[in-house]
Amino acid sequence: MAFKMRQSKFRHVFAQPYKKDQCYDNIRISKSSLDCKFCSVNPKFVAIITEAAGGGSFLVLPLSKTGRVERDHPMVTGHTGAVLDIKWCPHNDNVIASCGEDTTVKVWQIPDEVITTNITEPVVDLCAHQRRVHYIEWHPSALNLLLSSGADHKIFLWNVGVGEVLVEMDLPDLCLSMSFNYDGTQFVTTCKDKKMRIFETRTGKMLKEKQAHDGSKPAQAVFLKDNKIFTTGFSKMSERQYALWDTKDLSEPMNMEVIDTSNGVIFPFYDGDTNMVWLCGKGDSIIRFYEVTEEAPFVHYLNLYQTKESQRGIGMMPKRGLNVCSCEITRFYKLLNNGLCEVLPMVVPRKSDLFQDDLYPDTPSDEPACTADQFMEGCDSTPVLCCLKDKYAGAKKEQHSAVRKSNVLDTPNKLAARKSNVLDTPSKVTSRQTHHEQPASATSNGAAEAPTQAVSAPTPAPAGPALPADFDPQALQDDIRKLKLIVKAHERRIKTLEDKVAQFEANTSEEDEGEQA
């Protein structure tokens, strides 16, 4: 029986890292031993936890500000202990939460303009933990809801808008990861006691628990879109594993496979639009990716990406921040040991220039589905979706507009050539301008009058079509202003050439008179 390979449109996903000048270099990445990603990304900024003496800080850079980061670059400082975790708010790209060893959770407002001084004052201080806070997680659909877990074995659900605790939960051991389900009504945790637990968000009631992996090293869990749970951990023989669980029945995993025998904790990143899971191990140089389906064995290996440099931390861009024109399905920001934050897009090769509907179904937007109060009163809302086709159309329109503009305003020389046929070369301009300034009686023959007639009586242009809806008069005025500046520059050059010609003719006539005398 011939072997039949399973078909998938994501089998040939390839990665092409950006060049070094398009990445972020010279970053003092945190040396904390905590199993955290140290990086968080959204469509505006990339935030990276940094090493700081005497306190905690993290770096916030606009996506456009690439290259070398100066040592004195402004940071977000305010924690009196090391920062351990950071997360961007899914409903406001300018809001980020951080937690650290000083037992507090802080929420910051990042301005759009370039930061010139350190940000030291948070918008909200959340103080309830008695020991250091390890992990935080934003609610996927309700505004201003935030989970935090700490070394005091407690989990708090916060209403960030008013800075108060809504729900308090106790754990038997240290929490190692947290993840909400699709509508945020439940969340899953993994703990140091090897147990995976499912909680109800509103009440804090534990619904189910199960030992996910037998190994003593940290396990991670992430809720999938169809209320399944994907976990990574270790076996008794310290082999790295992944497993898929059905929340309806946790007695046995739907699938459990051994990955390898490395010792780094594996972080699972889930894309609900494509049902893909990306596995990135701390200290690894490999990113593996899988597709989750309803067909056995349910988790299908696709491929891997490998480099020479191992990753110290990693962040994943939300879907609405990707380049849909190049069929980019995800983008990672890898923190390397040499202080480089490498930008790594994952692309599905397609020949067509049309929008790829199968790659970009409607994805969660930055608009909240409900408020924190509405959610706590019983409103179950899935995330508000947005269509990326509008972004694709806007990008293509901007690209075409830029091409048309660049064809007109390539360089001053080309622009001058396209301004009119009269401005071909300085010599022709001088000739035509001289004839144009002479009166008709000064011409010696009819041939000299032809240029004057061509300049003074141009052929009227035919009436053009109606102006398009996106006509921008301001842009047209800017182009006209640039044209006038270039024309004036040519006129000054012409005047200089005329003066030189007149001086040359005067010197020649004086020499002729001297010879005749």
What does the DSSP assignment read for 73-120?
---EEEESS-EEEEEE-TT-TTEEEEEETTSEEEEEE--SSPP-S-B-
Fold of 14-375: Methylamine Dehydrogenase; Chain H (2.130.10)
- DSSP label at residue 163: T
Among the listed residues 317, 285, 225, 214, the one whose alpha carbon sits nearest the alpha carbon of residue 256: 214
Q: What is the pLDDT of residue 488?
A: 80
Looking up tokens 């979706």, which residue turns up? Answer: 385
Distance (Å, whole) CA 161 – CA 124: 8
Asked whether 322 and 330 are in contact (CB, 8 A), the reply is yes
| CA distances from residue 192 to 134, 187, 207, 216, 233 in whole angstroms, order as listed | 13, 17, 19, 8, 11
Asked whether 245 and 254 are in contact (CB, 8 A), the reply is yes
Long-range contacts, stretch 199-206, CB < 8 angstroms, 24+ apart: 199/155, 199/169, 201/139, 201/157, 201/167, 202/167, 202/375, 202/376, 202/378, 203/167, 204/155, 204/157, 204/167, 204/168, 204/169, 206/169
Q: What is the pLDDT of residue 460?
A: 47
| Amino acid, single-letter form, for residue 394 | G
Distance (Å, whole) CA 52 – CA 32: 11
67-68 and 83-88: which strand pairing? Answer: unpaired
Looking up tokens 């169809």, which residue turns up? Answer: 226
Long-range contacts, stretch 64-70, CB < 8 angstroms, 24+ apart: 65/114, 66/21, 66/22, 66/23, 66/24, 66/343, 67/21, 67/23, 67/24, 67/25, 68/25, 68/26, 69/24, 69/25, 69/26, 69/27, 70/26
Q: What is the pLDDT of residue 459?
A: 46
Distance (Å, whole) CA 59 – CA 74: 8
Asked whether 42 and 112 are in contact (CB, 8 A), the reply is no
Buried b or exposed e, range 110-140, using 16+ CB within 10 angstroms: beeeebeeebeebebebebbeebbbbbbbbb
Q: What is the pLDDT of residue 432?
A: 45
Query: Domain boundaries in the chain?
Result: 14-375, 409-440+471-509
Ranges of residues in the chain with a pLDDT under 70 are: 1-5, 54, 392-471, 513-517
Which residues, 6 or more positions from 333, have their beta carbon under 8 angstroms from its beta carbon?
Answer: 39, 41, 46, 314, 315, 316, 317, 341, 342, 343, 344
Distance (Å, whole) CA 460 – CA 105: 71
If DSSP codes are grouped into helix, strand and coil, which group holds residue 413? Answer: helix
Q: What is the pLDDT of residue 468?
A: 60
Asked whether 39 and 29 are in contact (CB, 8 A), the reply is no
